[in-house]
């Protein structure tokens, strides 16, 4: 007998990242509540300066089939963004030994949700091991190749915003 997977709870935060409550994933992603919830993004560069991107699984509820940050995920209740980053990197790319650099924090709002994005980067030549439930494919891109594909519906809107803000100034 299959049991349904329980729905995730997300912490609700203010713009400084202080937890002020919690809500179910479905409420945070309903396009109505617009409750601010924290997420983490990791930009994995290799020593040649290329950025690893993941192609979101077609089964994802937000931006399926689009190229996105190396790692992206929600912070769980009681978890710090640093802890969530390490967990998500291990889950999505099999990465356990890396030193993240905090790049900054910003609010991202789409038609479905409102996120407090905690952005990090790291450099590694380790070969990522993809979680095929989350990621259809992944590869390293040059910044030139990324620039050439901006605005062509290849990347998630959030990735396009973040890459311009953090790396293509």
What is the tens place of the pLDDT at every residue in 14-73? 999 999 999 999 999 999 999 999 999 999 999 999 999 999 989 888 899 999 999 999
Closest CA to 92 of 61, 142, 48, 57: 57
Residue 5: the pLDDT is 64
Rounded-to-integer distance, Cα 69 and Cα 138, Å: 10
* Size (the chain), residues: 169
Give domain status of residue 147, yes or no.
yes
Pick from 162, 119, 163: nearest CA to 141: 163
Distances from the Cα of 143 to the Cα of 8, 88, 126, 133, 160, angstroms: 35, 24, 19, 27, 12
| 8 Å CB contact between 75 and 105 | no
Whether 1 is covered by a domain: the verdict is no
30 burial type by CB count under 10 A (0-12 exposed, 13-18 middle, 19+ buried): middle
Cα 102 to chain centroid, rounded: 14
Structural domain including 41 reads 9-166
| Interval 135-161 mean pLDDT | 97
- Structure confidence at residue 1 (pLDDT): 45
Count: domains in the chain: 1
Q: Is 83 helix (H, G, I), strand (E, B) or coil?
A: helix
**Token code pair at residue 79:** 């978890």
What pLDDT sits at residue 4?
56
Position 157 in a domain: yes
* pLDDT number for residue 6: 79
3 part of a folded domain = no
Q: How far, in Å, CA of 69 to CA of 103, rounded?
A: 14
Contact 47, 54 (CB under 8 A): no
Q: Examine residue 139 and state whether it is found in any structural domain, yes or no.
A: yes
What's the alpha-carbon Rg for the chain, to the nearest Å? 16
C-alpha to C-alpha distance for 10 and 44, rounded to whole angstroms: 25
Question: pLDDT digit string (tens) for 90-134?
Answer: 999 999 999 999 999 999 999 999 999 999 999 999 999 998 888
Q: Which domain CATH number covers 52?
A: 3.90.79.10
107, part of any domain: yes
Q: Is the pLDDT of residue 2 over 70?
A: no
**Does residue 145 form part of some domain?**
yes
Task: Tell me if 2 is assigned to some domain.
Answer: no
Of 84, 98, 112, 97, residue with least CA distance to 17: 84
pLDDT at 72 (0 to 100): 96
């Amino acid at each position: 007998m299959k049991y349904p997977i329980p729905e995730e709870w997300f912490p609700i935060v203010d713009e400084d990242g202080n937890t002020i409550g919690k809500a179910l994933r479905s409420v945070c992603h309903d396009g109505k509540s617009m409750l601010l919830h924290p997420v983490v993004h990791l930009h994995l560069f290799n020593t040649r300066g290329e950025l690893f991107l993941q192609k979101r699984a077609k089964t994802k509820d937000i931006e399926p089939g689009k190229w996105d940050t190396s790692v992206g995920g929600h912070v769980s209740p009681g978890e710090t963004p640093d802890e969530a980053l390490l967990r998500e990197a291990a889950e999505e790319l099999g990465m356990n030994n890396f030193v993240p650099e905090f790049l900054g924090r910003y609010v991202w709002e789409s038609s479905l949700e409102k996120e407090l994005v905690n952005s990090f980067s790291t450099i590694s030549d380790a070969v990522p091991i993809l979680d095929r439930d989350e990621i259809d494919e992944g590869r390293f891109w040059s910044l030139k190749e990324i620039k050439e594909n901006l605005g062509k519906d290849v990347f998630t809107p959030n990735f396009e915003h973040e890459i311009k803000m953090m790396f293509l100034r």
